[in-house]
Structure 1
């Protein structure tokens, strides 16, 4: 590269020398003509053209020399650009087009080409991310500790048989009753583990031994084994039975009803049913079934159960006749003198349709760990709870 530049400079020098030599020769010719002017024709016919030719040659050579010098400078600039990295050449061109001054060497970026402001921003974001991760880990550990505490909760000890409250209820309104001798409610709790193991399904006939009117539209049917003084199956609080009836000759209908009684009562099971105008089975039970009738029953079914071993306290929420599974749970917990807090929230349209109102008032007075909150939509002139 340097040899090529030297040759170009040498050629440029030679051209300049030749032009100067030509100019000197022209000047020497003029001097010679002036010296021998006597021998020349008058009027200087030869000296004038020579002088004019030299002047024209000088005028032509000067622009050519300027162009050669400028071209050499541009050539030098091009070679200088080729010796620079392409990135620097591109940035230099962009700065030239945008009129951006090149940054001073003292303001160069540090720390792997990252500015201090970017480093501070990255540090701040890293601290925020670490804090969020720590909070999430703490929350998961707290949830695990709570879940572990619930899973390892001890089973409340069952009371002595004499400490259990009586399970008899006083019906708020008279109803057709067919009591059977020897079927009075038993206050004794079930044998250890009998009501806590998973029940087996059963199908057969049960006798209607008693019908209790809870509200104007709700009846409770107490069913018992017609051949024994004990139920032929076990169940858990919250399970249901399927009842099959024949409302018309040759036509059967099946409906499922939640058990409202406690598993501690071994002699009977109770189903609380609300009469619905469009309900085939509920209308049949209310209008046709009387005490001492036989009903086809199968079950128990359902996994919505609570026996007191799942938590140290419980919240029960029900409305209308949906109170039946909650009453089974509540009766079982009170029969076994469960030590945990029981919060019972119930809603009905009016106090007239408040199912199990008398029993709930009695249980709340008897058990300080039971807290009942009732809400009525229409209750003019009445007070409850």
Structure 2
């Protein structure tokens, strides 16, 4: 058997089965129709005796049968409109409606006679559909047996038309039996043919505020998302407010911390510069830091040398930082100093020396000191000749109470000579870094341009900050390329450079003779003495020989200027203008010291008896004075004294 014959056999079997099923369906429909007709005839015998008009294109319209009936004239559709609807339905692929549905469309209500007529037409439509189904299935079976696809298509169309006739007649019949409005029946059929009826009934009870469950769920999710976003935004705003409050509290605490304040009548000075002078390196201008952490108090510990820079033939800059790379463990004001404790070969005990911190306080990760090598300076020679990058040095910082940070002042006059430029440059670098809005008059006197290590930096700062005015004079400029002022500062030169000098304050640092001469000039120009501040400048005083005497118990001392050291059980006579520290050095009494200028405070000792004069006591705190402490490097005995050393 060929493949085509097998397929035809299968189709034939399906057609036979389908015919059997349709046969029983049609028999059941005819039985139901006859039952309904008999019941209807029993209620309307006059309609039962009349002929049933088959639904055909030749039968007269139902409207002709009800013409002239009251109440129907204004509601009925005209014949032209019904025919137009028939043609439209045929063009759109619907089965030819005959005159059943146009008749229904013309009615608003039915009389018993019209109802019987419509039922008869509906029954005829069902009969016609049954015949078309039978014909179509038989034709389909014959065409399938011989593989005649064209005839199969025709048979299928016949079956479809039969189903449509049968279904439309059945729908009309059931609608009339249920007492529905004729026009609604016609419109329902029309919508079904045009696929305009809803696929499933809408259950209004399943909606919320007119929304389906799906839309309700989507809106609920969006609402939850909105609530979460509002909560997150509120949390972030509260966190930001807390951080701002914390920053505000930190700033308030920093502002209320006890610091040395300056006023127009008081310009603080910087750390002392000894024989081993402190010089500030000519490094680049930096911006002020915005993340300074509160590192209050004095730090004692080790720092690592991370860089050494040659400034001139006899000046080096040493950069020190924390070994772990963190911020330096202390904060400082511009002009404060650091004290080094060094172990030097050939010296029996550790030596201490103080140097101004040359870098700006805005630098957090390192600090720098610049040191000039002195031929007879023990510490400066050790720093230049022995210390290398990577070495660890013991320090104590910060120290000193004299500094200038620009607070409560609108201008300042800074006058320096030689290595005394160090504290002046510390102030200038800080003021320009923080863009201080006051006027800075900077006067510097040195020997030659080879000794002017800050020349390029001062030019850079002056060009960048119009409020910085610089005047430099050379005392040994003969034979050099220097074209500026020469010699020491004169009254005419200072008065011409600084306008209204009598109304300003001055800060002076340099050799004693230079400071004395400058103070006299400023006084002559009308500057009040209270507005003139000087910084001690000079190296450690040479040891003076003191006559050591053994103190026997209950032995009276006849000399009226005797100095006794209670802890060492030693005493000696103090010479003219000899300090307590000078006497201690002659007796080998160990008193810690560093600057010997009265600023660092390291030689502080307690006075047990007697009275002394001190020209400088800057290294003492207020509580030290109350407790009876003196500075051994500054204390000159006025009477017999006894100190705790």
TM-score (norm 1): 0.50
Tell me: higher relative CO, structure 1 or 2? Use CA pairs within 8 A at least 6 residues apart.
1
Q: Which has the larger radius of gyration?
A: 2
